């Protein structure tokens, strides 16, 4: 069975965005060690899951890099993001306006389990916060890759707000990077 891996930027106090969706607090930067970690993680997948609200910005950003910035440090990664098949979970769209993207409109657990049972490499989910919260609450995440940024926001959007019982996790790997981020990789107990 394929694994569903969550890759998410998160603040020290557990927020994935500011109260109004702000994401300018991330220290993502030019850390080659962190880039290598991300590349290894994305090399293990062949499908990207996204919530409807995050998809437009995600697709536009990476497509812009591919179409306009071939000299960019991000170009190779952007190409992978554009070329990797994406599944967008939506209740409102009837067809996908994005290339290389299909829509999932049914029951979340059924749709994700169907994807996990298909042949292929693992699956990664990037967000948004409401969608990821639903995946966590349904127990569908197999690996949590939390990219902890050295900043506390005080308030904002959380991905753990839908957890009704304790979510017990086992740390399988942690790695600190020169930019100040620490990646914590957990699996459910």
Please provide the DSSP assignment of 167-183 as one string.
--EEEEEEEE-TTS-EE
Q: Which long-range contacts (CB under 8 A, 24 or more apart) does 171-179 make?
A: 172/143, 175/33, 175/37, 177/31, 177/33, 177/34, 177/37, 178/31, 178/33, 179/27, 179/28, 179/29, 179/30, 179/31, 179/34
pLDDT along the chain (189 residues), means of 10: 97 96 85 93 97 91 95 93 96 90 96 98 94 96 97 96 93 96 97
pLDDT at residue 75, rounded to an integer: 94
With 0.85 as the threshold, say if the pTM is over it: yes
Instruction: Determine the pLDDT at residue 30.
Output: 72
Closest CA to 7 of 31, 57, 42: 42
- pLDDT number for residue 127: 82
- Distance in angstroms (rounded) separating the CA atoms of residues 37 and 29: 14
Helices 52-68 & 75-83 angle (0-180, nearest 10): 130
Query: For 21-31, how does the pLDDT look when each residue is reduced to its tens digit (9 = 90+)?
Result: 999 999 876 78
What does each C-alpha distance from 141 to 20, 40, 147, 178, 179 come to in angstroms?
Answer: 26, 19, 16, 28, 27
Residue 98: what pLDDT?
Answer: 87
Q: Place domain 8-181 in its CATH homologous superfamily.
A: Dihydrofolate Reductase, subunit A (3.40.430.10)
Q: 140-172: per-residue pLDDT in tens?
A: 999 999 999 999 999 999 999 889 899 999 999
Strand arrangement of the beta sheet that strand 182-188 belongs to:
101-104, 86-89, 45-51, 122-127, 4-11, 143-149, 182-188, 169-176
Beta bridge partners of 60: none
């Amino acid at each position: 069975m394929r694994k569903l891996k969550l890759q998410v930027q998160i603040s020290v106090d557990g927020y994935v965005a500011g109260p109004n969706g702000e994401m300018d607090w991330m220290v993502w930067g030019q850390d080659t060690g962190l880039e290598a970690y991300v590349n290894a993680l994305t090399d293990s997948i062949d499908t990207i899951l996204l919530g409807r609200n995050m998809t437009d910005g995600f697709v536009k950003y990476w497509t812009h890099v591919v179409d306009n910035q071939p000299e960019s440090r991000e170009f190779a990664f952007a190409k992978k993001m554009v070329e990797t098949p994406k599944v967008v979970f939506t209740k409102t769209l009837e067809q996908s306006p994005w290339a290389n993207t299909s829509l999932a409109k049914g029951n979340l657990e059924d749709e994700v389990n169907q994807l996990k049972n298909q042949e292929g490499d693992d699956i990664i989910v990037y967000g948004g916060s409401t969608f990821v919260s639903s995946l966590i609450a349904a127990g569908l995440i197999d690996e949590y890759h939390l990219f902890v940024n050295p900043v506390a926001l005080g308030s904002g959007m959380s991905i753990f707000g839908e957890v009704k019982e304790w979510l017990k996790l086992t740390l399988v790997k942690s790695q600190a990077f020169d930019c100040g981020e620490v990646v914590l990789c957990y699996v459910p107990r």
